């Protein structure tokens, strides 16, 4: 296996094996998906497994697979939210995954909750924003959410894994113009090459008109799409993942005739690839 120091493992071992070790260092990656289709679980899995390996480096092969053996490990993992609290996310992880996943996530992931700024110019009362809102309320009442996000990224993104949960909150906000959001994303995509980490941007599919969704997709290095597929004559559904955009990956996937990856979510392993569908 060739060295992959220029790749950061995703934590989804079979997927990393096919894409040669993980995501290219310095990438901004859109995780675009239908509700519950796996984009959030992908982010949780990545953060939890990288946290586990950070605590016990000798467990790398077990949690990340052989393909990620020479991968680059981020120095820090940050989880940014705009409308959800740290407690809410930790409770969701605790209910969905095993104690090892939860413990590693809780101990290692740095949370940044922007809900105070996010809800400030809405009808939502300050008391609903939780304890964090009182902290942000100490700042300027004219503080701009995108500026606050940029400042946090400048300080924390270098050599880090950053998860932004989610772009959906920003896209539906009446206080944020889509042109401003796209400009920030384009700047983020540019500067991420200097940060030498990775940024995951979670976005719910079809929450905005197609043109705006495309503008966002055009502003990132890569896009993974998560979707549900229903079986004929059955109520059973299957989660799928496919690579919509990624210049360094698509030629390889096309050569291997790989169309998409069937996935499941388990308490023991997080999001897992269980099958690879090929064309022809």
Pair of tokens at residue 122: 């809405």
Is residue 79 helix, strand or coil?
A: strand
Q: pLDDT-derived band of residue 280, with 50, 70 and 90 as boundaries?
A: low
Q: How far apart are CA 253 and CA 203, in angstroms?
A: 23
Q: Averaged over 185-196, what is the pLDDT?
A: 97
Q: How far apart are CA 12 and CA 273, in angstroms?
A: 7
CATH class of the 7-278 domain in this structure: alpha beta
Q: Where are the beta strands (DSSP E) in 127-204?
A: 160-165, 198-204
Task: Note the pLDDT tens digit of each residue in 141-189.
Answer: 456 899 999 999 999 999 999 999 999 999 998 889 999 999 999 999 9
pLDDT of residue 44: 97
Q: Is the pLDDT of residue 69 over 70?
A: yes
- Find the helix or strand (DSSP H, E) in which 259 lies: strand 258-266
Q: Is the pLDDT of residue 140 over 60?
A: no
**Composition of the chain by helix, strand, coil, percent to 5:** 45, 25, 30
DSSP 33-71: ESTTSSHHHHHHHHHHHHHHHHH-GGGHHHHH-GGGTTP
Is-contact 150 171, C-beta < 8 A? no
Q: pLDDT-derived band of residue 1, with 50, 70 and 90 as boundaries?
A: very low
Q: pLDDT-derived band of residue 243, with 50, 70 and 90 as boundaries?
A: very high
Q: pLDDT-derived band of residue 70, with 50, 70 and 90 as boundaries?
A: confident
Task: Note the pLDDT tens digit of each residue in 13-45.
Answer: 999 999 989 999 999 999 999 999 999 999 999
pLDDT of residue 231: 74
Question: 123, exposed or middle or buried, with CB in 10 Å at 0-12, 13-18, 19+?
Answer: exposed
- Find the helix or strand (DSSP H, E) in which 23 lies: strand 23-24
Q: Is the pLDDT of residue 62 over 60?
A: yes
Residues in the chain: 280
Q: Averaged over 49-67, what is the pLDDT?
A: 93
Residue listed under structure tokens 């799928």: 240
Q: pLDDT-derived band of residue 3, with 50, 70 and 90 as boundaries?
A: very low
Q: Which of 3-7, 123-127, 201-205 has the lowest mean pLDDT?
A: 123-127
Q: pLDDT-derived band of residue 124, with 50, 70 and 90 as boundaries?
A: low
Distance of CA 89 to the CA centre of its chain: 14
């Amino acid at each position: 296996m060739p060295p992959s120091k220029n790749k950061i493992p995703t934590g989804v071992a079979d997927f990393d094996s096919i894409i040669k070790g993980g995501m290219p260092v310095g990438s901004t990656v859109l995780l675009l998906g239908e509700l519950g289709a796996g984009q959030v679980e992908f982010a949780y899995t990545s953060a939890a497994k990288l946290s586990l390996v950070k605590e016990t480096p000798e467990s790398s092969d077990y949690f990340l697979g052989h393909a990620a053996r020479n991968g680059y490990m981020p120095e820090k993992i940050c989880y940014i939210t705009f409308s959800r609290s740290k407690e809410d996310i930790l409770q969701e992880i605790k209910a969905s995954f095993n104690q090892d996943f939860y413990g590693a996530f809780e101990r290692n992931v740095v949370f940044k909750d922007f809900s105070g700024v996010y809800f400030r110019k809405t009808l939502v009362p300050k008391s609903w924003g939780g304890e964090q809102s009182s902290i942000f309320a100490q700042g300027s009442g004219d503080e701009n959410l995108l500026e606050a996000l940029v400042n946090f990224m400048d300080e924390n993104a270098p050599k880090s894994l950053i998860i932004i949960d989610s772009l959906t909150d920003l896209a539906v906000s009446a206080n944020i113009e889509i042109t401003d959001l796209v400009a920030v994303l384009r700047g983020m995509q540019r500067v991420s090459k200097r940060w030498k980490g990775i940024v995951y941007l979670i976005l719910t599919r079809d929450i905005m008109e197609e043109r705006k969704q495309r503008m966002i997709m055009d502003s990132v290095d890569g896009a993974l799409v998560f979707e549900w597929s229903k079986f004929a004559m059955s109520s059973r559904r299957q989660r799928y993942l496919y690579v919509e955009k990624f210049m360094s990956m698509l030629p390889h996937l096309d050569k291997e005739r790989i169309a998409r990856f069937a996935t499941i979510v388990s308490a023991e392993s997080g999001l897992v690839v269980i099958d690879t569908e090929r064309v022809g």
